[in-house]
Chains A and B, each alone.
Chain A
Amino acid sequence: MAKEVYHDRVVTALVLCSIVWSVVGMLAGLHVAAELVWPQLDFGREWLSYGRLRTLHTNAVIFGFGVSALMGTAFYSVQRTCHVPLFAPGLAWFCCVGWQLGILAGGLSLLAGWNAGKEYAELEWPFDIAIAVVWVCFAIVFFGTIARRRMPAIYVSNWFYGGLIIVIAMLHIVNSLAVPVTLSKSYSLFAGAQDAIVQWWYGHNAVGFLLTGGFLGMLYYFLPKHADRPIWSYRLSIVAFWAFTYAYIWAGPHHLHYNAIPEWVQSLGMVMSLVLLAPSWATMINGVMTVAGAWEKLKTDPALKFIVLSLAFYGLATFEGPMMSIKSVNVVSHFTDWTIGHVHSGALGWNAMITFGTFYFLVPRLMGAPLHSVRLANIHFWLALAGTMLYVLAMWGAGVSQGLLWLSLDEIGELSFSFKDIMASMAPYYALRLAAGLIFFAGALLLAYNLFMTVKGRRTVAAAPPAAAEA
């Protein structure tokens, strides 16, 4: 009988694809950031216009970089926490290849002007169907592996990854319900205010269960592995999971404050957003206390720094979000660049930082070789920190200025400033944001080079589950 081994080649492929998408997505982000300073950078071409490139940026970083990383780390960790190889490895490869082709074709369709008009769900109906099919296959592989587990308990990281898979399937299918008119155009099944509520039920929970819950799965597996010690409080992690799952799903209407939706729905969204602070910070405290005892690992492990800092930004983003959902804050902050700063403190400081830390840990283990350069990883850490801080500061400055100027009244109650003048004066902030993006991108390029050099000329090592190894 052939020796049983973990299916890790698909993990390596997903990690490498994730790195490629991070470069593509951040490059698109840099270009749109530059267009906000120098609008002529679209060179008069539609496919280079802000509207098309911005959607490419968000789709490439969230679904290309983020989901590929989540899929890869879910496949890696579910095998190790269940002590069995992946269920249906062929289907896992189908998920990997199908997802990459979907993002590639979807990205090109966005550049061609296909757009369903829903934020973070811009891809048109043929891609929505393809995404649903791949996602169901992801669920079959993941839950099939859990069903065959040799460990009696289901480790907490799998609860978060499982929550990600189930909730995103539900959100994606409901929000994408549409009537196709042609191959490139469809109309949502929902109309008016209902469409807005469904859209932000999807939009906010994509942030919740993908960018928060999914990455918490990554944290709960890789942080104890990095720190070489168990989670500080396993009980707290389980309580946090259920509280998080219960509270998050209600918070979407805070995106629609002062809009044409019922007042009580807005207030409910605000209250549930505030409640959400408790489970979010429970996880942060759990992470901080786990890593607090592992300080000696910092001497040898450059990756742990990224995770330590990602927890700080996770704390910031999960505090700032509920605070911005308070209606008296939101009335000023909504539609301003403060929101963009908030999103990026989470996206750069939390999602990207924890993914970088995980990749620096994971790739050398997958290859059975040391990291190509610890020095480059250390430089990357400072570039990532500086880039994120600059970005957040620039957007805080721009956002609060916009919020104040847009609403300022003169002595006779007229608006003091014109919208056009205010926006024209934002160029210096946007230039600073571009500089911040360049610094962060430079760090990401170092990571790409470092990890490709680590992988170059090597094959993924074969690792066996403990039961098989002992046999």
Chain B
Amino acid sequence: MRGFAALADAQPDPVQVFFKQVFWLALAPPVFVFIGSLNFGWRLGAAEPLYLSGKALTLIGIGYFFALLLGLVCTAVLSKWMAATYGARDGLGVHLALVALVAAPLATGSVFHLFPHVFVNLLALIPALLWSLYLLYKGLPIALRIGPERGMLMASALIGCLLVGAVSLLGLTVALWTGGIGPTIGV
């Protein structure tokens, strides 16, 4: 919680936070998944792993990177927008830094993408996700200097938005497959 306490007294510059933290958090998972898929193939539970060409993997990796970057920045913008409703601090830098702190366990957990077995990744990312949720609920009121009750409401509103973001990513991925980007599927 020290990171959140330090953030409570700081007014970081959004550009600096973006290049020092957010950029790298968004870069790590696509790099891991690129290396993992190239070497081990996607393991979705079937007997044979699914190998894709380097070109397709690069395209997927770039898409993944921008999706994550967009997701992190949008969450910070959303959090800043919600701040007025919940009486929290303004300033995009603070919200961007808050999102980076909360997303850090998930980005760290993405090291399991080096072996892209879907179930293994799911199992590894569940504790990371729970840790991120804990950080969001506990850290948000500290960093934004609001009471824990208001923090709980704001964190829950953000979770709602993040769930929608996660499912949008799934939908978008599937729609891209149908559109011919990614694995060859018979549709």
Contacts and interface: CB of A to CB of B under 8 A. Distances in A.
Interface of A: 284, 288-289, 291-292, 295-296, 298-299, 305, 308-309, 311-313, 315-316, 319-320, 323-324, 326, 328-329, 331-333, 338, 345, 386, 389-390, 393-394, 396-397, 400-401, 403-405, 407-409, 413, 415-417, 421-422, 425-426, 428-429, 432
Contacts of B129: 389, 393
A270 to B, nearest CB: 13
Given A319-B164, A333-B174, A408-B183, A299 B149 contact: yes
A147 B10 CA distance: 60
Nearest to B176: A328
Given A292-B85, A299-B149, A316-B164, A396 B170 contact: yes
A408 B185 contact: yes
Contact of A329 (B130, B153, B175): B175
Contact of A312 (B163, B170, B183, B186): B163
Contact of A394 (B44, B122, B152, B171): B122
Given A315-B164, A316-B160, A428-B45, 14 more contacts: A288-B160, A292-B86, A309-B156, A312-B159, A320-B171, A326-B171, A332-B185, A389-B133, A400-B118, A400-B173, A400-B174, A407-B187, A428-B119, A432-B122
Contacts of A393: 122, 126, 129
A421 B46 contact: yes
B163 A313 contact: yes
A198 to B, nearest CB: 28
Which of B157, B174, B184 has most chain A Cβ within 10 Å? B174
A101 to B, nearest CB: 39
**Can you list the 8 inter-chain pairs with the closest CB atoms, starting with the nearest?**
A425-B45, A312-B160, A407-B185, A298-B149, A316-B163, A401-B44, A328-B178, A295-B150
Contacts of B47: 417, 421
A328 B153 contact: no
A202 B175 CA distance: 28
Interface in B161-184: 161, 163-164, 167-168, 170-171, 173-175, 177-179, 183-184
Given A404-B185, A408-B183, A323 B168 contact: yes
A271 B155 CA distance: 32
B6 interface: no
B92 to A, nearest CB: 21
Contacts of A413: 186
A312 B184 contact: no
A409 B175 CA distance: 17
Nearest to A342: B167
24 contacts: A292-B85, A292-B153, A295-B150, A295-B153, A298-B149, A315-B163, A316-B163, A316-B164, A319-B168, A320-B171, A323-B168, A338-B170, A345-B163, A386-B130, A394-B122, A397-B119, A400-B173, A400-B174, A407-B186, A408-B184, A416-B48, A425-B46, A428-B45, A432-B123
Contacts of B160: 284, 288, 311-313, 315-316
B147 to A, nearest CB: 7
A315 B157 CA distance: 10
Contacts of B177: 332, 404
Which of B86, B150, B170 has most chain A Cβ within 10 Å? B170
Contacts of B178: 328-329, 331-332
A280 to B, nearest CB: 12
A299 B173 CA distance: 41
Interface string B82-101: 00011000000000000000
A429 B121 CA distance: 12
B50 interface: yes
A396 B122 CA distance: 10
Contacts of B171: 320, 323-324, 326, 329
A426 B126 CA distance: 18
Which of B45, B129, B149 has most chain A Cβ within 10 Å? B45
Contacts of B187: 331-332, 407
A428 B44 CA distance: 11
Contact of B50 (A308, A333, A408): A408
Nearest to A422: B46
A324 B183 CA distance: 20
A397 B122 contact: yes
Nearest to A413: B186
B118 A401 contact: yes
Contacts of A323: 167-168, 171
